[in-house]
Amino acid sequence: MKNFNYTKLPSSAQWRQDSSVALAFRKHDIALTRIDELIDDYHGEKEIGKRGLILCDMFLTLEYWFKMLETHAGKFEAGRLPAMRALFAVVVKDLGPFFADRDGHVASPTKISTEMKKYFGAGLSNHGYKNDEEHGMVAFDKKQLYKYRLWFKNGLAYQFPWWTKGQPSVMVLANSRHGYTRVVRPGGGGVPQIGGWSAFVMTMDRQIYMTKHDFDPKRFGSNHFHSSYNGGQRVAMAGTIAINNGVITGVRTDSGHYQPGLHNLNAFLWALKMYHVDLRKISLLDEKGDWVGGDILCTAEDFFYSGRTWDEFRKGGEREQQKLDSAQLRREARWA
């Protein structure tokens, strides 16, 4: 197997040549085709900060590719691995200055991975810990998670029909109405969950799950929340989502447990872009139910190309750290 060593991000032509495998179609690999687009975007972008964000998206997309190669052998072409490893190495090197410390020391790969979680992840808030303690959060097991996961083909979301009886073995087009329950989230300013929308989370490795959250304050230890998907660990995004016959039409940042910011929403759209979802059909709402971007209807496509800056993500990471600091006592008490 041939090895590659890049001193800088390869050109689009070089990358496509190095990552090509005989008798394998690029279009069948969603992560690979997204990386192709990101390399094109990187070489077409002159602003340093925006190049940094493209590298971050590339870092997360590469991690997804490695994970899928490991867990879904045969569906991802192992012959591309040398090129993927070489690209990951140069992406990590180029990201080093963006995550440098105050003294200008370039960040190590380990630090970059840690900082990436802070910049693009959402930890459990103080409210989340308190809610789980008072009402008894129940975590989903692996069998449940497999049923609740969303899978994508041609930009449409599919899911095993967990809402039916028995053990469904065939996926169908996803519909969020099956996960709707009337919940008023404290993090949403008292605004109830929108009819037909379902709770969802996306993990740090871009796995998206959607199901109904059962809640009965009279039954301690039988309640499901956003923290149920991974035991309260960090996620990339959490809130509610509208899906009609596989088409995502709306996303709202109304998770009181995780209280995601716009930087989390942006990272979620990066993942949807990788899944070939049409962002033009998606409306974006904040935790209070207002349009993201003000009074004017802002589609996910508008938001995605509105020119997010590195400084916005840095400030988002700072707010995330403040949220984690506020929840530290409850978090440490749970560990104890």
Assess whether 99 and 183 both reside in one domain: no
Backbone angles phi, psi at 329, to 5 degrees: -60, -45
pLDDT of residue 101: 83
pLDDT of residue 189: 56
Assess whether 51 and 73 both reside in one domain: yes
Backbone angles phi, psi at 209, to 5 degrees: -125, 145
Assess whether 61 and 155 both reside in one domain: no
Assess whether 174 and 97 both reside in one domain: no
Assess whether 130 and 263 both reside in one domain: yes
Where among 120, 136, 161 does a domain terminate?
120
* Domain-embedded: residue 302: yes
* Domain-embedded: residue 7: no
- Those residues whose C-beta lies under 8 Å from the C-beta of residue 7, and which sit 6 or more positions away, are 90
pLDDT of residue 223: 84
pLDDT of residue 244: 98
Where among 65, 92, 120 does a domain terminate?
120
* Domain-embedded: residue 303: yes
* Long-range Cβ contact pairs of 72-79 (< 8 A, separation 24 or more): 76/29, 76/31, 77/21, 77/24, 77/29, 79/1, 79/21, 79/24
Residue whose entry in the numeric block shows the structure tokens 């989370």:
201
Q: How far is CA 205 from the centre of its chain?
A: 7
* Domain-embedded: residue 71: yes
d(C-alpha 253, C-alpha 7), whole Å: 40
d(C-alpha 116, C-alpha 270), whole Å: 14
Assess whether 108 and 218 both reside in one domain: no
Assess whether 151 and 90 both reside in one domain: no
Where among 83, 102, 120 does a domain terminate?
120
Each residue's pLDDT expressed in tens, for the chain with a length of 336 residues: 688 999 999 999 999 999 999 888 899 999 999 999 999 999 999 999 999 999 999 999 999 999 999 988 777 889 999 999 999 999 999 999 998 888 888 888 888 888 888 888 999 999 999 988 888 898 999 888 999 999 999 999 999 999 998 777 899 999 999 999 887 665 555 667 899 999 999 999 999 999 998 776 666 667 889 999 998 999 999 999 999 999 999 999 999 899 999 999 999 999 999 999 999 999 999 988 888 876 666 799 999 988 788 888 889 989 999 999 998 888 777 665
pLDDT of residue 251: 97
Convert the pLDDT of each residue in 25-71 to its tens digit. 899 999 999 999 999 999 999 999 999 999 999 999 999 999 999 98
Residue whose entry in the numeric block shows the structure tokens 């709306």:
250
Which spans in 196-309 are helix H? 262-274, 300-304
* Long-range Cβ contact pairs of 69-77 (< 8 A, separation 24 or more): 76/29, 76/31, 77/21, 77/24, 77/29
Assess whether 76 and 171 both reside in one domain: no
* Domain-embedded: residue 1: no
The range of the structural domain enclosing residue 281 comes to 126-335
Assess whether 173 and 305 both reside in one domain: yes
pLDDT of residue 276: 97
pLDDT of residue 294: 67
Assess whether 139 and 158 both reside in one domain: yes
Asked if 274 and 206 touch (Cβ cutoff 8 Å), the reply is: yes
- Could you give the number of structural domains in the chain? 2
Sheet architecture: strand order including 198-202: 208-210, 198-202, 237-244, 247-252, 283-285
Assess whether 185 and 323 both reside in one domain: yes
Q: How far is CA 182 from the centre of its chain?
A: 25
Cα→Cα distances 162→36, 174, 202, Å:
35, 10, 18
* Domain-embedded: residue 6: no
Name which of 230, 292, 284 is nearest 257 in CA terms. 230
Assess whether 56 and 204 both reside in one domain: no
